[in-house]
Chains A and B, each alone.
Chain A
Amino acid sequence: MPLGNVDLLIVGSGPAGLAAAAKAKEAGVEKVAVVERAEYPGGLLHQCIHNGFGLHYFKEDLTGPEYAHRFIGRTRELKTELCLETMVLHISSQREVTLASAKEGIWKIQPKAIILAMGCRERTRQQLLIPGTRCAGILTAGTAQRYINIDGLMPGKEVVILGSGDIGMIMARRLTLEGAEVKAVVEILPYVGGLIRNEVQCIHDFAIPLLLQHTVTKIHGTERVEAVTVAQVNGSAKPVAGTEKMVKCDTLLLSVGLIPENELSLMAGIELDPLTGGPVVDDRMETSVPGIFAGGNVVHVHDLVDNVTWEAEAAGASAAEYIRDGGKGGGKKIALKAGKNIRYIVPHTITADRGVNLYMRVREPQENVQLRIGQIYKKSLRAVRPSEMLKVSLSDREWEKFKRGGKELAVSCERKD
């Protein structure tokens, strides 16, 4: 059967999977294979035809497909095996992987190491329990993006977008460019859920009404959406009676959050963090199951693909190390604790003897703050927001300051006085 003797199996060929594969190959793993259920590699990058990809990693402004092709090219150069139109049905805690494809049927393999790179999925109307009818015309922003950019079909003409995540804002612009009327982008919080650059370039530049501290309280329509009720919300995000107004539309787009896709991780018995929705990982991006690593949006949802790439490269390098020597290089593990105004930090534990990138999100927007990691690192920041991930690179220099013996490092973000 195919892939029978692979050393490293990577699940998913989006930006995370391709970056992890390239890194592992470069680190000397001989047989690396990437499994992808679609007909082509690259994952969702193909439907992200807007620009803004690679500004940090390549110092270039690329579109999603261009970014994908850089890595698809690397895959070819490095002779990484790509196993397309194949779905992983199951992974056991012993790393036994069950695969399915039309060509090969169902078969099992047991690679020496696995990297999970399944990415994430969108939250749905059902999870929000928006009251109203069950008509057609309610879809997530990413699904609308696929219809327009891949299938060449228009999901609607008069659109209300609930939630101001990045895909939602990008779709507000995209729909406008395709001739649709975006009646409003409705956000329950007092600030947008995505990047500032998207708020400026996708909403304000196209004069799309942005209703902050509003939400959709009801969906109307029997067969297709006919209107939605939009209402203001109070400080505890509850609709304010008397502020409801009907907005006529034929489509409701949702951009209300992304959820790491971890059904396979659960099958393998991997411990998940309820805050991120992804696996608990150490600084080598190893999960709680030895030999299974993870990187990118399957671990926690990033806002920049560049960070997905770096994080997955760390997973690729560590998997290579694991295949070579069982990955026993690491010293003692130190737990990272989320302190004031920190929602979560990835990785969850680190080993204080090598460089590591820490990714974290704050709980609330705040200005003039100091970000502190125990006694070893501090940095002043003008403003922080939950939608903009913070990244800190710790190097040997910081470790010298770290007194050996500590079991924990507290990360906090506090106002400077």
Chain B
Amino acid sequence: METEVVIIGGGIMGVMLARELSRYKVDAVLVDRHPDVGFGTSKSSHGTIYSGLTYLVSKSLKAIATSGGGNEAHFEKDRLCHDGYEMWEGILRELDVPYCRRGDTVIARNEEELSRLKLMQRAAKPEWNFRLLNREELFSLEPHVTPEAIAGLHDADHVLTCYPWDIVIAVAENARENGVKFFLDAEVRGFSRSNGFTVVETTRGPIKTEFVINATGPWGADVAKLADACDFELKFFKGHTLITDKRAGDLVNNSVHWPPTPGTSKVIQPTLSGTLRLGSIYRPTEDKDDDATDAEDIETVFQRAHDLVPALSRNDIITCFTGMRVFSARDPEEYIMEYAPHNKKFLNVILRLPGFTPAPAVAGKVLAMLEEAGLKLRKKEDFNPYRKRIPIFRELSDEERNRLIAQDPKWGHVVCRCETVTEAEILEAIRRGATTLDGIKFRTRAGMGRCQSGFCGPRVVEILAKTLGIAPTQVSKKGGNSRIVLQEGKELLREKGV
């Protein structure tokens, strides 16, 4: 295969770069080792796009105190996050991604914490309109927070709540619609150079290209080293997230958290579907592939949330997963957006958090860097910025449902009963690129409900096998050897000579 630009990594940064490039007459290929986009770090991101108070909380205290940290890299990060935030709502609308706007409250229990609230208030931009709440005002806003609270700092706006995979999938679909090729299930194994071109060697074959963008997040240093294009080091932090049942969803009205301390994140955050997300303690780790949850960390995360909202019960927890955060070893506050040493046609784009918020602005900056390195950016007249989501059966009116069923009876066949997902939605997800159970789950929510695919799992396996023309034993949860069933019945008995 030959192309002009290879983007390595199908997370938020990779797909956003793909979409931005698809505005121009540029041949681009996105490569990812997973069978689908967003299967790496992005899927376990917070899924929020934010500015204001939440953004301040994402920074270290020192960085807040020095408002930007004082160096150009920090100011640039602030700028990109601000610009990205301003761009997102328009993009979510263009791409028909469900989202809602929420606010954020930081809570203080004592004078020391109150002084940190005041520090954040001083660091705020005037247009953010933060309000320092006294105890009474705080409890009228968030009645379920700990009675120990003495004050709160409130930002009524500046959080766009979405699902991270919704965003990645939507951006990827739109980039593909506008001509970017997706080369998935292809792991990059090495790079070679020939006549000024780079050959990206993947497990599915080589791709000859002029430019390479490395947007592989935690794996960024490994990929860059394969090309001898790495002069940065990364540090990794693993954190746990718990999700509650919807019945606990009313305990908070906005995100609520403690004043920031190093290695923590938002404590309680309402999600789009009315569940709560309980956030994390982040611990340093050497193993960026380690996504295992740990009993002690689960307990710590729960306890921190429970301290904040005592009405939360352990029985409210319905699932737990981990996420990986990546920081530059040079300076934990910076984004890595740079040409490889001695090669302006190889770009490393590795973001620390927030990663979703600045992505559109970073993509713009990276395109400018590509142009400077010699890529011709000529606008496409027929670029289509719009994408429609798969209709969500459970959210439609009965009239709309009947209209769809009249067109195709499969809209009346409910396959996932917990989330009320129809066969038509699953088939449409496959048509748009889902090849695994997780791919279907992220696109339709089938299997995300209370029975966790116990009921719909076997049916989705059957639909995937039939539609993709593969054996049920080849259907996987998330690619590779994550197969759902291992053999046909009786095969094992035959092997054993029974």
Interface residues of A (CB under 8 A from B): 37, 85, 87, 89, 98, 100-106, 121-122, 124-127, 129, 131-136, 139-140, 142-143, 146-148, 150-157, 178-180, 217-220, 222-224, 250-251, 263
Contacts of B294 in A (CB 8 A): 131
B480-498 vs A, Cβ < 8 Å mask (1 yes, 0 no) = 1111111111111101101
From A129, A156, A222, name the one whose CB has the most chain B CB atoms within 10 angstroms: A129
| In the bound complex, CA of A263 to CA of B246 (Å) | 12
From B319, B414, B457, B488, name the one whose CB has the most chain A CB atoms within 10 angstroms: B414
State whether A224 and B481 are in contact (beta carbons under 8 Å apart), knowing that A102-B412, A153-B472 are contacts in the complex.
yes
Is A179 in contact with B492, judged by CB distance below 8 angstroms?
yes
The reply on B417 being an interface residue by CB < 8 A is yes
In the complex, how many angstroms separate the beta carbon of A50 from the nearest chain B beta carbon?
A: 16
- Considering the complex, give the chain A residue whose CB is closest to the CB of B487: A154
Is B402 in contact with A105, judged by CB distance below 8 angstroms?
yes
Is B414 in contact with A37, judged by CB distance below 8 angstroms?
yes
Residue in B295, B458, B487 whose beta carbon sits within 8 Å of that of A146 in the complex: B458
Residue in B293, B317, B454 whose beta carbon sits within 8 Å of that of A142 in the complex: B454
- At the interface with chain A, which of B276-284, B374-382, B403-411? B403-411
Is B401 in contact with A100, judged by CB distance below 8 angstroms?
yes
- Considering the complex, give the chain A residue whose CB is closest to the CB of B423: A102
| In the bound complex, CA of A139 to CA of B456 (Å) | 12
The reply on B264 being an interface residue by CB < 8 A is no
The reply on B321 being an interface residue by CB < 8 A is yes
- Considering the complex, give the chain B residue whose CB is closest to the CB of A266: B247
| In the bound complex, CA of A133 to CA of B44 (Å) | 14
Name 24 A/B residue pairs within 8 A (Cβ), A-sorted. A87-B417, A100-B401, A100-B412, A103-B412, A105-B412, A106-B402, A106-B405, A129-B298, A129-B319, A131-B293, A131-B298, A133-B291, A135-B482, A136-B476, A152-B489, A153-B473, A154-B485, A154-B489, A157-B486, A178-B490, A178-B492, A219-B292, A222-B289, A263-B418
Within 8 A of A (CB), among B302-329: 317-321
Q: Interface residues of B, CB < 8 Å — how many?
A: 58
Residue in A151, A179, A220 whose beta carbon sits within 8 Å of that of B462 in the complex: A151
Is A135 in contact with B477, judged by CB distance below 8 angstroms?
yes
Is A87 in contact with B481, judged by CB distance below 8 angstroms?
no
The reply on B389 being an interface residue by CB < 8 A is no
State whether A133 and B492 are in contact (beta carbons under 8 Å apart), knowing that A121-B451, A179-B498 are contacts in the complex.
no
From A132, A180, A224, name the one whose CB has the most chain B CB atoms within 10 angstroms: A224
The reply on B204 being an interface residue by CB < 8 A is no
| In the bound complex, CA of A176 to CA of B416 (Å) | 30
Is A224 in contact with B412, judged by CB distance below 8 angstroms?
no
Contacts of B292 in A (CB 8 A): 131-133, 218-220
Contacts of B122 in A (CB 8 A): none
In the complex, how many angstroms separate the beta carbon of A252 from the nearest chain B beta carbon?
A: 13
The reply on B450 being an interface residue by CB < 8 A is yes
Is A156 in contact with B405, judged by CB distance below 8 angstroms?
no
| In the bound complex, CA of A105 to CA of B413 (Å) | 9
Is A136 in contact with B412, judged by CB distance below 8 angstroms?
no
In the complex, how many angstroms separate the beta carbon of A110 from the nearest chain B beta carbon?
A: 15
Residue in A102, A122, A154, A180 whose beta carbon sits within 8 Å of that of B413 in the complex: A102
Interface residues of B (CB under 8 A from A): 289, 291-295, 298, 317-321, 398, 401-402, 405-406, 409-414, 417-418, 420, 450-452, 454-455, 457-458, 461-462, 472-473, 476-493, 495-496, 498
| In the bound complex, CA of A151 to CA of B493 (Å) | 17
| In the bound complex, CA of A135 to CA of B484 (Å) | 10
| In the bound complex, CA of A139 to CA of B477 (Å) | 12
| In the bound complex, CA of A368 to CA of B24 (Å) | 83
From B298, B318, B412, name the one whose CB has the most chain A CB atoms within 10 angstroms: B412
Is B485 in contact with A106, judged by CB distance below 8 angstroms?
no
- Considering the complex, give the chain A residue whose CB is closest to the CB of B318: A126
From B298, B487, B495, name the one whose CB has the most chain A CB atoms within 10 angstroms: B487
Is A105 in contact with B401, judged by CB distance below 8 angstroms?
yes
Is B298 in contact with A154, judged by CB distance below 8 angstroms?
no
20 extra A-B contacts, CB within 8 A, seeds A122-B451, A140-B454, A223-B480: A87-B414, A100-B401, A101-B413, A102-B410, A103-B412, A105-B406, A106-B402, A106-B405, A121-B454, A121-B455, A122-B454, A131-B293, A135-B477, A152-B489, A154-B492, A155-B485, A157-B487, A179-B495, A223-B479, A224-B482
Is A148 in contact with B483, judged by CB distance below 8 angstroms?
no
- Considering the complex, give the chain A residue whose CB is closest to the CB of B397: A106
Residue in A105, A125, A178 whose beta carbon sits within 8 Å of that of B452 in the complex: A125
Is B293 in contact with A132, judged by CB distance below 8 angstroms?
yes
Is B413 in contact with A106, judged by CB distance below 8 angstroms?
no
| In the bound complex, CA of A220 to CA of B418 (Å) | 28
- Considering the complex, give the chain B residue whose CB is closest to the CB of A222: B289
| In the bound complex, CA of A154 to CA of B289 (Å) | 29
Contacts of A157 in B (CB 8 A): 486-487, 492
In the complex, how many angstroms separate the beta carbon of B363 from the nearest chain A beta carbon?
A: 30
| In the bound complex, CA of A140 to CA of B452 (Å) | 10
Is B484 in contact with A124, judged by CB distance below 8 angstroms?
no
Contacts of A153 in B (CB 8 A): 472-473, 485, 487-489
Contacts of B478 in A (CB 8 A): 136, 223
| In the bound complex, CA of A315 to CA of B122 (Å) | 66
Contacts of A100 in B (CB 8 A): 401, 412, 414
Contacts of B486 in A (CB 8 A): 154-157, 250-251
- Considering the complex, give the chain B residue whose CB is closest to the CB of A86: B412
| In the bound complex, CA of A100 to CA of B495 (Å) | 45
| In the bound complex, CA of A104 to CA of B401 (Å) | 11
| In the bound complex, CA of A87 to CA of B416 (Å) | 11
- Considering the complex, give the chain B residue whose CB is closest to the CB of A85: B413
In the complex, how many angstroms separate the beta carbon of B50 from the nearest chain A beta carbon?
A: 26
Contacts of B492 in A (CB 8 A): 154, 157, 178-180
Contacts of A152 in B (CB 8 A): 488-490
Contacts of A178 in B (CB 8 A): 489-490, 492-493
Residue in A87, A125, A151 whose beta carbon sits within 8 Å of that of B458 in the complex: A151
Residue in B289, B454, B461 whose beta carbon sits within 8 Å of that of A124 in the complex: B454
Residue in B472, B484, B496 whose beta carbon sits within 8 Å of that of A136 in the complex: B484
Contacts of A250 in B (CB 8 A): 486
Contacts of B477 in A (CB 8 A): 135-136, 223
- Considering the complex, give the chain A residue whose CB is closest to the CB of B394: A89
Is B417 in contact with A127, judged by CB distance below 8 angstroms?
no
| In the bound complex, CA of A105 to CA of B408 (Å) | 10
Is A224 in contact with B483, judged by CB distance below 8 angstroms?
yes
State whether A102 and B398 are in contact (beta carbons under 8 Å apart), knowing that A124-B454, A143-B458, A151-B462 are contacts in the complex.
no
Contacts of A122 in B (CB 8 A): 451, 454
Contacts of B319 in A (CB 8 A): 126, 129
| In the bound complex, CA of A180 to CA of B476 (Å) | 20
Nearest 9 CB-CB pairings of A with B:
A179-B492, A102-B409, A102-B412, A136-B482, A152-B489, A136-B477, A126-B319, A223-B482, A153-B485
Contacts of B485 in A (CB 8 A): 147, 151, 153-155
- Considering the complex, give the chain A residue whose CB is closest to the CB of B408: A102
- Considering the complex, give the chain B residue whose CB is closest to the CB of A239: B295
In the complex, how many angstroms separate the beta carbon of A237 from the nearest chain B beta carbon?
A: 13
In the complex, how many angstroms separate the beta carbon of A298 from the nearest chain B beta carbon?
A: 14
Is A154 in contact with B458, judged by CB distance below 8 angstroms?
no
Is A101 in contact with B412, judged by CB distance below 8 angstroms?
yes
Contacts of B480 in A (CB 8 A): 223
Contacts of B455 in A (CB 8 A): 121, 143
| In the bound complex, CA of A102 to CA of B422 (Å) | 10
Contacts of B461 in A (CB 8 A): 151
Is B457 in contact with A143, judged by CB distance below 8 angstroms?
yes
In the complex, how many angstroms separate the beta carbon of B345 from the nearest chain A beta carbon?
A: 34
In the complex, how many angstroms separate the beta carbon of B101 from the nearest chain A beta carbon?
A: 28
Contacts of A127 in B (CB 8 A): 318
- Considering the complex, give the chain A residue whose CB is closest to the CB of B496: A179
Is A121 in contact with B450, judged by CB distance below 8 angstroms?
yes
| In the bound complex, CA of A156 to CA of B485 (Å) | 6
| In the bound complex, CA of A157 to CA of B493 (Å) | 11
Residue in B320, B458, B482, B493 whose beta carbon sits within 8 Å of that of A129 in the complex: B320
Contacts of B493 in A (CB 8 A): 178-179
